[in-house]
Structure 1
Amino acid sequence: MQRGLRAIKRDRPLEVVMVADNLERNGISSFIMESCRHMDRERVRSTVLVGGEVDRQYADLAMKARIPIEQLPNRKHNPLAYYRQLGLYLQEHQVDMVHIHGNSRTMTMELLIARHHGIAVRIAHSHNTTCTHKILHTLLKPAFNHAYTSGFACSDSAGRWLFDDRPFTVIPNGVQIEHFLYDSDVRRSERSRLGLDGRFVLGHVGGLNTQKNQVFLIEVFEELAQHRPDAVLLMVGDGPDRQMLAERISRSPHRDRIMLYGQSSDPRDLYMVMDVLVFPSLFEGLPITLLEAQISGLPCLVSDRVDGQAFLSDMVASLPLEGSAHRWAQQLATMEMNRNRSAFLRDHAAQCARVDITASSQLLTREYGNFASQ
């Protein structure tokens, strides 16, 4: 134990503070909430500190699950107040470990604040394979490497992005397997509700933002729609690009067949509606949406920027984004859509077990315990 660092007491559960920019509808937030819900609370007690918006449904879920959430000043709009409050929290509470979630080395300041307040275990967790401020990311490398004590990543590629050749541990994003299994009754009822009986539904679930590349998605659909009059595009999610995408859709010759569904607190039933998931992201870590869709038995067409660790079966096809929308539409036309979706878990049990939230949370708990023993 270094001088000035707090000793970790072993006669009580470990006190872990998770830190995130927000708790909105995204992969990081999903990982945090599901991990906190499924970890053994006799071994680990988690508190979530948030430097941004907290989704109302996540707040309700946290209250029901007795997961403490502390909302700090907004990290983007008032960073000095945010960092000051983070430091005060660490100073005033018994904290054994700080677990920072993000996509870049801009989490360096949180790690340094934790070090200043004597937190011996400071975990940086990479959830993606690039960021929007690459120059700052590069400049912060020496300070970042000095500030964190352990590295986690959702995939190998996400780990290499943040930690280069330094060691890290992959903690796979996990999902509730049973919740997303295919249900034909739900498919029939939801298709009827949405007026999609007899339609071929291309689905997409994700934040409406640059990373998810929805303009290209619309172009792909327009190519396919020329040859499939029964095709419909169902886009689930919300975000900063919503207005721009709505305007783009209004100019499409197939605008009446494109649905901007909006946000869904649980897309499970919407996966049942879909015939194929299209996911042309510009960059990704280990997308939870792709895991959920596969477990529901959906064929998926994704960009080559998605880490292959997210592929649970041969029902996932990958194409480069440099290819044309026409090439993507051709691929959709050749994909096998008639497999027995109900048999996915039976046929891919080992792959599903790898991304089960219970197994992922148990791994996380073990890693915390290992750090406490060092």
Structure 2
Amino acid sequence: MNSKRISRVLHVLGSVGIGGAETFVMNLYRNIDRSIVQFDFLLHFHEEKSYEKEIKDLGGRIFYIPHITEVGYLRYRKALADFFREHPGYNIIHSHINETSEIVLKEAKKSGIPIRIAHSHSSYPKYNLIVKIIKGLLKFQLTHNATHYFACGERAAKWLFGKKNVSNVKIVRNGIDIDKFANDNNEVSELRTQLGIKDGTLVIGNVGRFNPPKNHDYMIDVFAEVKEVNNDSVLLLAGDGSLRGRIEEKASRLGLKDSIKFLGIRDDIHVILKLFDVFIMPSLYEGFPVTLIEAQASGLMCIVSDRISREVDLGLGLLEFLPLGKKYIDDWARKVALSGKRKKNTINESVIREFDIKEIAFEIQSFYIAKQSESEDGNVS
């Protein structure tokens, strides 16, 4: 393929709000050579706080179609067919919307797009029986309509593509900008002052979207118990989402309003993580959460749900897995209170380097270019 020609890759997402899969794609986008590979985005929702402006500044295009829950299966397929007919020329489509990728990639296949990537970023959401059956059928069909399978880890690979297909899945780690995690105590000190947090206060934190899988209710319950053990403690919650208002109300109801700070969507997560003494993640399910990689890169002790894959443990002695449930809240609180004293100031850089987004972006860019070249030669595999 002529390297002077720009290859445009169509990424399919729910939105480009500040979230896990979205952040991963944007990290790729910032670090690829955009004179060779460009990204376009097919989205289902608009979010006020999102990466949309940055995408346009980087040269990307954004398109919208209605979500399947808004228009139903048949009209959703028609919207996809119409889009592909009106926007020909894509050789690569990279879909990040779990089982629904099957519908997208089926229409992409009918439209003649030769390289169709399904990417799993999560695992084990709970469905009722009817939805579980439908999703199971979509997963089965997905393996026939995707030409390539990507996943953030082995558990996410098994969940979307099935055990028998794991050997065919390309594991793409959720990379981070490791240069941001070099020590800068001035930034941390300034943030501590801005937030009114005294030296010596135990700082507990989480970074994540306010939605059911993140289990913010449990975080609040755990923090309420931590306050019983150590009153000089605060909980910092970075992120936004549909459940934020309800969680704020719960904090007020439990008398914790002054001890819990809702930070909203931030662009200084690397600084916020350095301010934390301990990271808490009682998620109901995750794929390969990039925030846990960032937390370990920051030397943070992390108390996390045992429903999160052990793959995320980098072997730095910074993760402790605990079960969920009301009867374990005291255990969580005790571990959190004690772990805040174990923060590390140095990390094993050779381990963290494996998650360098620059290296991962180059790998994916090379994959796109190679597959684009194969498609032009009629040898896609």
| TM-score (normalised: structure 2) | 0.88
Distance in 1 (CA, whole Å) between partners of 2:38 and 2:237 is 37
Distance in 2 (CA, whole Å) between partners of 1:287 and 1:39 is 21
Letter in 1 for 2:333: A
Deviation at 1:311, TM superposition (A): 2.2
Which 10-residue stretch deviates more, 350-359 or 316-325?
316-325
Q: Which of the residues 142, 145, 167 maps onto 1:147?
A: 145
Distance in 1 (CA, whole Å) between partners of 2:139 and 2:193 is 53
Which 10-residue stretch deviates more, 21-30 or 31-40?
31-40
Tell whether 2:70 aligns with 1:77. yes
Q: Which of the residues 133, 136, 140 maps onto 1:135?
A: 133
Which 10-residue stretch deviates more, 144-153 or 259-268?
259-268
Q: How does 1:154-303 map to 2 (within 5 A)?
A: 154-164=152-162, 165-166=164-165, 167-198=168-199, 199-303=201-305
Which 10-residue stretch deviates more, 157-166 or 348-357?
348-357
Tell whether 2:358 aligns with 1:355. no
Deviation at 1:253, TM superposition (A): 4.1
Spell out, residue by residue over 1:136-180, the C-alpha distance to the aligned partner (whole angstroms, 9 max, x if none): 211323322221111000111100101112121101111111123
Which 10-residue stretch deviates more, 248-257 or 213-222?
248-257
Q: Residue 256 of structure 1: SS of its match in structure 2?
A: coil
Contact 2:38-2:59 within 8 A present in 1 as well? no
Letter in 2 for 1:122: R
Distance in 2 (CA, whole Å) between partners of 1:223 and 1:54 is 35
Distance in 2 (CA, whole Å) between partners of 1:225 and 1:203 is 14
Which 10-residue stretch deviates more, 324-333 or 88-97?
88-97
Q: 1:62 to 1:19 in 2, by over 3 A?
A: same
Contact 1:121-1:371 within 8 A present in 2 as well? yes
Deviation at 1:37, TM superposition (A): 2.0
Q: Which of the residues 305, 317, 320 maps onto 1:314?
A: 317
Q: Percent identity?
A: 30
Contact 1:181-1:297 within 8 A present in 2 as well? no
Letter in 2 for 1:214: H
Which 10-residue stretch deviates more, 64-73 or 164-173?
64-73
Distance in 2 (CA, whole Å) between partners of 1:55 and 1:72 is 17
Letter in 1 for 2:322: L
Deviation at 1:81, TM superposition (A): 5.9
Q: 1:226 to 1:142 in 2, by over 3 A?
A: closer
Spell out, residue by residue over 1:17-46, the C-alpha distance to the aligned partner (whole angstroms, 9 max, x if none): 111111111111111111122123354332
Contact 1:276-1:298 within 8 A present in 2 as well? yes
Distance in 2 (CA, whole Å) between partners of 1:245 and 1:74 is 27
Distance in 1 (CA, whole Å) between partners of 2:63 and 2:20 is 19
Q: Which of the residues 11, 17, 30 maps onto 1:37?
A: 30
Q: Residue 39 of structure 2: SS of its match in structure 1?
A: strand
Contact 2:18-2:49 within 8 A present in 1 as well? no
Contact 2:139-2:160 within 8 A present in 1 as well? no
Tell whether 2:84 aligns with 1:90. yes
Distance in 2 (CA, whole Å) between partners of 1:370 and 1:287 is 28
Q: 1:314 to 1:183 in 2, by over 3 A?
A: same
Letter in 1 for 2:63: E
Which 10-residue stretch deviates more, 13-22 or 152-161?
13-22
Task: List runs of 5+ in structure 1 lacking aligned partners.
Answer: 1-7
Deviation at 1:56, TM superposition (A): 4.5
Letter in 1 for 2:336: L
Distance in 1 (CA, whole Å) between partners of 2:90 and 2:289 is 30
Distance in 2 (CA, whole Å) between partners of 1:96 and 1:179 is 34
Task: List runs of 5+ in structure 2 lacking aligned partners.
Answer: 375-379
| Paired residues, number | 362
Deviation at 1:338, TM superposition (A): 4.7
Distance in 2 (CA, whole Å) between partners of 1:120 and 1:24 is 28
